[in-house]
Amino acid sequence: MADREALIRLRNIRKSFGENTVLHGIDLDVHAGEVLCLIGASGSGKSTLLRCINHLEVPDSGRIYVGDHLMGYEERTPGRLHELSRRKVAAQRTEVGMVFQHFNLFPHLTVLENIVEAPLRVRKLDKSTAIATARDLLQRVGMSHKENAYPRQLSGGQQQRVAIARGLAMRPKVMLFDEPTSALDPELVGEVLDVMTGLARDGMTMIVVTHEMGFAREAGDRVAFMSDGMILEMGTPTQVLSNPVHERTRAFLSKVL
């Protein structure tokens, strides 16, 4: 299923931590505007795969393309990949936004300061533009009333919505979500999923590691089931969630649905 037109192309991604092989040669294409949900048991490699895409985790072998960029490397002669400097990797990362399970907001900065930090210092936007953009984004995630609050003064759901706004502030081409609702109290999950569904509807390219099958079904264009470092099954939400082919997919779904 090689596809030159896809926005994100993963080719034969392998990764191990010591003896433990986490990714066994993953191939994956994600098109612009597509929402892909990665599901699977913990330890199946979904988070590692996601973290490879923006080079937070460096694969042992394989290639990841985001748009025209080969993440982390420069191919000066065919077949020889030279490691890029941190600065160049950072430049590539501006295309990829990320939302973490534990929000990872900067606790010493206010909501607004959290959002404008990267646009000001990385994109070198002037302050008024950065603040105006940040306020638009805060409105989009329904957090306008909290722009001067500190992260610790917010609920988990509110923090995660701010984290989404922070990721969007860099105007990325793709947003990665690493179990964005797993650390939330059950009654707060909905508000975060609503924001994500809104983003998906607006055409953002998204890769979402999640245990929320309802979200996968509603907002996902495709669902990939991962097991033991491989994508066992991939297709539309209906195919994978309602008519899974593989025995292990069925076993997993029977536990979470």
Partner 1 sequence: MTSPRQTVDADTIVRRPRRWRWVGIAAVVIAAVSVATNFITNPNYKWDVVGRYLFDPRILNGLGTTLLLTLVGMVIALAVGLGLAVMRMSKSGLLSASAGAYIWFFRGTPVLVQLILWYNLAIVIPEFSIGIPFGPTLWSADTNSLITPWTAAVLGLSLNEAAYLAEIIRSGIVSVDRGQTEAADALAIGRATSFRRIILPQALRVIVPPAANEAIGLLKYSSVVSVIALPELLYSGQLIYSRTYETIPVLIVVCIWYLVVVTVLTGLEHLLERRLGVGFTTGGTTSRRWSRWLIAKR
Contact residues for partner 1, defined by CB under 8 A: 54, 56, 86-87, 90-91, 93-94, 96-98, 100, 102, 104-110, 112-113, 117-118, 121-122, 126-128, 131, 147-153, 166-167, 170
Q: Which is nearer to partner 1, 160 or 249 (CB)?
A: 160
Q: Name the residue with tokens 């809104």.
A: 198
Q: Which is nearer to partner 1, 118 or 213 (CB)?
A: 118
Residue among 163, 160, 36, 173 at smallest CA distance from 94: 173
Q: Which is nearer to partner 1, 56 or 230 (CB)?
A: 56
Q: Please report which helix (H) or strand (E) contains residue 36, including its range.
A: strand 35-39
Q: Which is nearer to partner 1, 66 or 231 (CB)?
A: 66
- Tell the smallest beta-carbon distance from residue 195 to partner 1 (Å): 18
- Tell the smallest beta-carbon distance from residue 128 to partner 1 (Å): 5
**Degrees to nearest 5, angle at CA 9 with 58 and 124:** 70
- Return the structure tokens found at 196: 């994500």
- Return the structure tokens found at 69: 């960029």
What are the residues facing 10 on neighbouring strands?
28, 64
Q: Name the residue with tokens 């936004």.
A: 97
- Tell the smallest beta-carbon distance from residue 148 to partner 1 (Å): 4
Q: Which is nearer to partner 1, 25 or 156 (CB)?
A: 156
- Tell the smallest beta-carbon distance from residue 170 to partner 1 (Å): 6
Q: Which is nearer to partner 1, 146 or 222 (CB)?
A: 146
- Tell the smallest beta-carbon distance from residue 69 to partner 1 (Å): 13
**Three-state secondary structure call for residue 12:** strand
**DSSP character for 163?**
H
Q: Name the residue with tokens 């969007």.
A: 168
Distance CA 223, CA 83 (A): 32
- Tell the smallest beta-carbon distance from residue 73 to partner 1 (Å): 17
